[in-house]
Structure 1
Amino acid sequence: MISVILPTYNESGNIRKLIELMFEEVPAPLEVVVVDDDSPDRTWEVAKKMKSVYPSIKVLRRVGKKGLTSALRDGIKIAEGNTIVWMDADLSIPPSKIPELLEKIIEGYDMVIGSRYVAGGGTVILEKEDDSLVLAILSFVLNLVIQKILDPSVHDYTSGFVAVRKAVLDQVRLKGDHGEYFISLTYKAIKNGFRVTEVPYILGSRSYGVSKTGTRWWHYFLKGFNYLIVAFSMLFYRGTEKRK
């Protein structure tokens, strides 16, 4: 079974279409795990109503608990799939790319990253968003620096779009927030001997609502310092971690 985890907060305008696309694009058997941080727009309720059409949907409403990484950890705990996928729930990532990630899992890879920075990947630049070009450049440069610090075989250390075998997550615990957790997971997977590869995708814009991760260049610049601290800390990691 494939489990797709969707961490959500105020995504009621996107979640219905995204779930419909999931069941159209991703091969069965499939379960979709929506982990919602008690959204004021009641995203969790919209997702629950869809269970009548798609019974394999699971909805976890977290009251008094917030955060991307903890949402992913909670989703992983209840996911039943041997392969787990997660991605943003704002329709900026095309669900049609998920089968390409899964093909690499079938080929024998343990972790397949949806990458903006390999041939065929990219980011849509929107003129209406003044900082979108600057953000794209900052993200590219940051990932280039992290690539030089850590393992050069990976190009997108802050992707957040991935298919990974449950065995990897049984050994490597998600730590940090936003991009930090993905840097840590990727490098630790490599150091523990898991096979990691990338598949290109083009990051679009969210279809509805406002970004929760910051849309201004200075905000991303500040986060970048934390990403670099995590990257340098990984140099002391020697593997053999066991998730608790």
Structure 2
Amino acid sequence: MTITPRVSVVIPVYNEGESIVRCLDRILREVLLPAEVLVVHDMPEDTTVPYAQEVARTDPRVRTVLNTYGRGPANAIRFGIDSAVAPVAVVTMADGSDDPRQIDDLARLVDRGVVVAAASRYMPGGQQVGGPRLKRMMSRWAGRTLHWFARVGTRDATNSFKAYDTEFVREVGIESRTGFEIGLELTAKASRMRLPVAEIPTIWLDRQLGESRFDLGRFMPSYLKWYFFAFGRRLTAEQLSRRGPVSPVPTLEKESSASG
């Protein structure tokens, strides 16, 4: 009997190689809700793919998905959310920085009615361990000021580890095309629509394997755009969707063990 997923876990990857196995093992062990785990890659030759497909051979919840929206983390996340079968999509990184035990809790918050549920490093009980000092300071400052003055519903609007109501995402669309600013974009849009955003504390650990793809200089303009967008009058979904192209729901190109 096929069980319909209640949560789609979206993992953008780029040449993670064998390290993806540990990431997937932790997610599959800790996520108790009916789930699908989408390993979203930009190119068929990505080194992550054969290792993820090996895991998929023993656990049908996992499948590799080829992103056709264009290269880069923003496009991979866009494609992953559009490919999600479940009503809730949780975006998490492949580097082990996020705590997979919290995926169920984030998904349940969305199930209860919030459109964005954030794992927060900056609320009481949260913590950030490691990472570049300047990036930490800027992220914390942005989170606090958005919480205080724009009332966005979370102290950590820039964290990528979030759960989303997939219907909400498809309604307002995703404009980001650069990096990891999607989390801030969707939080800002929810705030402008006066829709509920919630948070739970998390402990974020800087990645131990591989190299980060975060380029502060390159991504900063996009972050600033959405930071300032969070301040403003109430907008409707129709007004938001007119701002940019809404991602079409893709025809899935599955590369799971069943098809390979």
TM-score scaled by structure 2?
A: 0.80
Q: Determine the C-alpha separation between the residues in 2 that align with 1:138 and 1:192.
A: 25
- Mean Cα deviation higher: 84-93 or 185-194: 185-194
SS, match of residue 156 in structure 1 = coil
Q: Which residue is equivalent to 1:141? A: 141
Aligned-partner residue type, residue 37 of structure 2: V
In the alignment, the residues of structure 2 paired with residue 58 and residue 41 of structure 1 have an alpha-carbon distance, to the nearest angstrom, of 14
The alpha-carbon deviation at position 157 of structure 1 amounts to 1.3
Aligned to 1:91: 96
Compute the displacement of 1:30 (Å): 1.0
Match of 2:65 in 1: 60
Q: Can you give the 5+ residue segments of structure 2 that lack an aligned partner in the other structure?
A: 247-260
| Counterparts of 1:64 and 1:225, CA distance in 2 | 21
Q: Which amino acid counterpart does residue 213 of structure 1 have in structure 2?
A: F
Cα–Cα, structure 1 residues 193 and 234, in superposed 2: closer, same or farther, change >3 Å?
Answer: closer
Q: Which residue of 2 aligns with 1:129?
A: none
Higher mean C-alpha deviation, range 87-96 or range 175-184: 175-184
- Give the conservation status (yes or no) of the 8 Å contact 2:73–2:180: no
Residue 241 of structure 1 is matched in structure 2 by: 237
Q: Which deviates the most, 32-41 or 93-102?
A: 32-41
Counterpart residue type for residue 185 of structure 1: L
2:184 & 2:193 partners in 1: Cα distance?
A: 14
C-alpha change, 1:205 and 1:94, in structure 2 (3 Å) is: same
Which residues of structure 1 form unaligned runs of 5+? Answer: 127-131
Task: Select 2:223's aligned residue among 194, 212, 227.
Answer: 227
Give the structure 1 partner of residue 198 of structure 2: 197
Alpha-carbon distance in structure 2 between the residues aligned to 1:137 and 1:39: 37
Q: Distance in 1 between matches of 2:221 and 2:81?
A: 28
Tell me the alpha carbon deviations over residues 118-145 of structure 1, each in whole angstroms, 9 at most, x when there is no partner: 111111037xxxxx33332232123334
Q: Give the number of equivalent residue pairs.
A: 234
Contact 1:149 1:231 in 2 (8 A): no
SS across alignment from 1:12: coil
Partner of 1:121: 126
- Percent identical pairs in the alignment equals 26
CA separation of 1:191 and 1:7: change in aligned 2, threshold 3 A: same
CA-atom RMSD, angstroms? 2.4
Describe the superposition over 1:142-161 as per-residue Cα deviations: whole angstroms up to 9, x where unpaired: 33344455325321111101
Report the equivalent of 2:22.
Answer: 17
Q: After TM superposition, list the pairs within 5 Å mapping 1:22-41 onto structure 2.
A: 22-38=27-43
CA pair 223-55 structure 1, distance change in 2 beyond 3 A? closer
Give the residue type in structure 2 aligned to 1:28.
L
Q: For residue 156 of structure 1, what is the aligned residue in structure 2?
A: 156
Alignment-derived partner of residue 256 in structure 2: none
Q: What is the CA–CA distance in structure 1 between the aligned matches of 2:69 and 2:173, rounded to whole Å? A: 22
Q: Partners of 1:162 and 1:112 in 2: how far apart?
A: 6
Larger mean Cα displacement after TM superposition, 226-235 or 49-58: 226-235
Checking the alignment, whether the CA contact within 8 Å between 2:127 and 2:204 is kept in structure 1 is yes
Query: What is the alpha-carbon distance in structure 2 between the residues aligned to residue 180 and residue 57 of structure 1?
Result: 25
